[in-house]
Amino acid sequence: MRVGAGIREHASTVVVAALSSLFAVALILFTGILTASIEPAVIESSGTFRVVLMMVALVFILIALYVGAIVTANTFSTIIAGRTRTIALLRLIGSTSARVRGRVAGEGLVVGLVGAIIGFALAEGLCAAVVALGPGLGWLPAERDYPLFDPLAVVAVAVVALTTWAAAWTGSRRVAGVSPIAATGAAVELAPERSRRRPARTVWSVVLMILGASLLAIGLVLGFVTPLALFIAFWGGLFSFTGIALGAHLVMPPLLGISGRMLGRGVAGRLAAANTLRHPERSARSTIGLVIGVTLVTMFAVALSSYETMALHAFASDAELEAQMSDTLTVTTAIFTGLVGFSAVIAAVGLVNTLSLSVLQRTRELGLLRVLGLTGAQMRRMVLAESAQMTVTALGLGLLLGVFYGWTAAQSLMGSQAGLMAPTIPWPILAGVAVFGGSLALVAAAAPARRAIRVSPVEALALD
């Protein structure tokens, strides 16, 4: 494999690991800084304050790691599809699938560690800047000893690296199915029939979705009795969404087919729609990461907005408490949405990289299209249409899931006090998510579209 290709393959994995590490380390260090900013008069309670902050930070760190792991696994699955011939040659000369997978996982560990260290350095620099400038800007009290290191930060770096390694191992599971005869081909994706015919994965997906839906229903019913029903609903949401992510090869193609019919009847639009359906596994990998990001942001925004509406309804008789709660929830909504938005950025990186890799691995296909008469402008429109199709599908599914999960969380928590209420939709935030998705579609497709236009038909068809 060429060095340049290897760098392009792993660039987004390094970025994802760096973002995950930056997020985790920064939250841990800022927790210590906020604890140190507490007035000495209440220092006795600062230990509890730190524990509470760390628990909240842990939730968002786990979310970022969850998203990062899925994005990384999808990236390595795409890389494996492009290395089919190389892997087949290794199998031909005697390498076992376990050994090849070990090499791929080793790559994941190295790039994950590199990215995690970069993220650690950026977080340290960010916290050092806040500590240096904070007192002068009025953000932090002066003459305090603010910590710039925490052993948990090192643990976070190790966890990010190991998570990347595990995701690489998971993403390389297709190695076992690569036969030596595949050495005569190039990049190979599973055909639609084989993609749908994966019984173990399909069964687990269905089981998780049914289990999750059952727990969500139980959480909603018990929510009229006790706020503790939120914990049941939480596991219901986690199981059901994991089932959707695991069964993306079944869930996404029909939705992509619907959005594909919106692309028009031109040559570029029809080719784009056909491409996403011809390789459902690749399309699912490209879209599911963005679905996760959109779902998370929408879920937290709807949950907090609905909680605010339900809480104000329940305590409407106390005007002073109502005003204080409204102000507090407004700030909390902004902070939580921003934190979850970081995970959406990680998911966006996955979409950009998967689309770029797919174009890079389709050199022969693109060259053949040029030979058959497709112009450069049509090639550009085709790639843009593919990106738009996947982005629109991911946005639509993510918004629907986010609204449902957010309302379920608020209803299971406040149902005993507010009764049954409709979800409160924070339209400005959802509009921002839609604008972000549209912008992402253009950014994600820009570089691949330029690369597709530059494909030389003769050179492309001459590739092995």
Instruction: Report pLDDT digits (tens) over 218-246.
Output: 999 999 998 888 889 989 998 999 899 88
Instruction: Report pLDDT digits (tens) over 91-136.
Output: 677 777 778 778 878 888 888 899 999 999 999 998 898 888 888 8
Average pLDDT, the chain: 77
Largest CA distance in the chain: 78
From the number of C-beta atoms within 10 Å of its C-beta (0-12, 13-18, 19+), residue 166 rates as middle
pLDDT over 90, % of the chain: 11
Q: What is the DSSP string of 277-315?
A: HH-HHHHHHHHHHHHHHHHHHHHHHHHHHHHHHHHHHHT
Q: Where are the domains of the chain?
A: 1-188, 189-464
Instruction: Report pLDDT digits (tens) over 387-446.
Output: 788 888 888 999 999 999 999 988 998 888 888 899 988 888 888 888 877 787 677 677
pLDDT over 70, % of the chain: 73
Q: In 10 A of CB 269, how many CB atoms? A: 22
The Cα-based distances of 379 to 34, 165, 234, 386 in angstroms read 52, 36, 44, 11
* Residue 316 to residue 400: CA distance in whole angstroms: 30
* Residue 394 to residue 288: CA distance in whole angstroms: 7
Give the chain's residues under pLDDT 70: 1-9, 38-56, 78, 81-85, 91, 174-198, 263-265, 268, 315-317, 319-339, 343, 354-364, 441, 444, 448, 451-452, 455-464
